[in-house]
Amino acid sequence: MIKKFFITGTDTNIGKTIASSILLKKATQAGYKTIGYKPVSSGCEKKSYKFLNNDAILLRRNSSIKLSYREINPISFIENAPPHILSQFQENIIKKEHLSFGLKNIVKKSNWIIVEGAGGWYTPLSYKDTFSDWVKQEKLTVIIIVAIKLGCINHAILTEKAIIAEQVKCGGWIANNIYPKDKYNLCYIQTLLSYIKAPLLGIIPYLEDTKKINFQSIKIKLP
């Protein structure tokens, strides 16, 4: 059975890629053939004469099945701005079929797939479709990454309610401590446990250097 998950977040820059990388490593250790897929990205850096997205690089590095960069990240934009706006300026409209084509290729080669979105649940792909429309079409199970900070309670509750309203399965949520712990961090998480219906899969501690992650020390359950 092929397992396919979509990673969304309560905002942008809240650790979706770190959480995705940890899940990929855990699934690999459990014996799955894993691939991380970043269908659409914005914000690339020049590396070896090519412009590449750092999130896609991390997903590729932490997948057990090695694919080409373009298989992992088929649609990318150099500037760091909403993809649908960049695609409009470049007259290259993103269509749901583009994302599905890449996913079909990945499904042939693995049995445990993480699809990382961009931004939050309703991030637009175009002026017609959002990521949520595509996730619903592909019947992916969603995992919410919650950045533990002021405002996260409201954002997390709204995100889960929106997912449920779309009749999409929410497989769980992960709390990510993006700032050093303060006296309220555990209170945020405890409050979310009272409101979020999906199970808490784990808590990522504050990582001062995200390039040096001890995957073994982070306790996250596979959905």
pLDDT at 17 over 80: yes
User: Is beta strand 40-42 parallel, antiparallel or unpaired with respect to 75-77?
Assistant: parallel
Torsion of CA 121, 124, 127, 128, to 10 degrees: -50
Supply the pLDDT for residue 208. 78
Check: CB of residue 158 under 8 Å from CB of residue 122.
no
Q: Is residue 111 part of a domain?
A: yes
pLDDT at residue 207, as a whole number = 86
Asked whether 102 and 39 are in contact (CB, 8 A), the reply is yes
Q: What is the pLDDT of residues 171-194, one digit of tens each?
A: 999 999 998 877 899 999 999 999
222: in domain: no
- What CATH number is given to the structural domain containing 128? 3.40.50.300
| Domain contains 223 | no
Structural domain contains residue 184? yes
Tens-place pLDDT, residues 103-143: 999 999 999 999 999 989 999 999 999 999 999 999 999 99
205 is in an annotated binding site: yes
pTM score: 0.95
Is residue 38 annotated as a catalytic residue, yes or no? yes
- Residue 53: inside a domain, yes or no? yes
Q: Which three-class secondary structure state does DSSP give residue 181?
A: coil
Residue 69 phi, psi dihedral angles, 5° rounding? -60, -45
Task: Examine residue 12 and state whether it is found in any structural domain, yes or no.
Answer: yes
Is 179 known as a binding-site position? Answer: no
Nearest alpha carbon to residue 172 among 159, 154, 153:
159
| Beta-strand pair 141-147/112-120 | unpaired
The reply to whether 116 sits in an annotated binding site is yes
| Predicted local distance difference test score (pLDDT) of residue 180 | 86
What contacts 206, CB < 8 A, 6 or more positions away?
Answer: 177, 178, 179, 180, 181
> Would you state the pLDDT for residue 45?
86
Q: Is 83 among the domain residues? A: yes
Report pLDDT for 47.
Answer: 80
Token duo for residue 119: 């931004």
**Is 117 flagged in the annotation as binding?**
yes
Q: Which tokens is 27 given?
A: 């699934």
pLDDT tens-place string over residues 95-114: 999 999 999 999 999 999 99
- Where does the pLDDT of residue 92 fall: very low under 50, low under 70, confident under 90, or very high at 90 and above? confident
In a domain, 16, yes or no: yes
Please indicate if the annotation marks 43 as binding a ligand: no
- Catalytic hit among 4, 25, 26, 38: 38
Domain that holds residue 171: 3-217
As for how many domains the chain has, the answer is 1
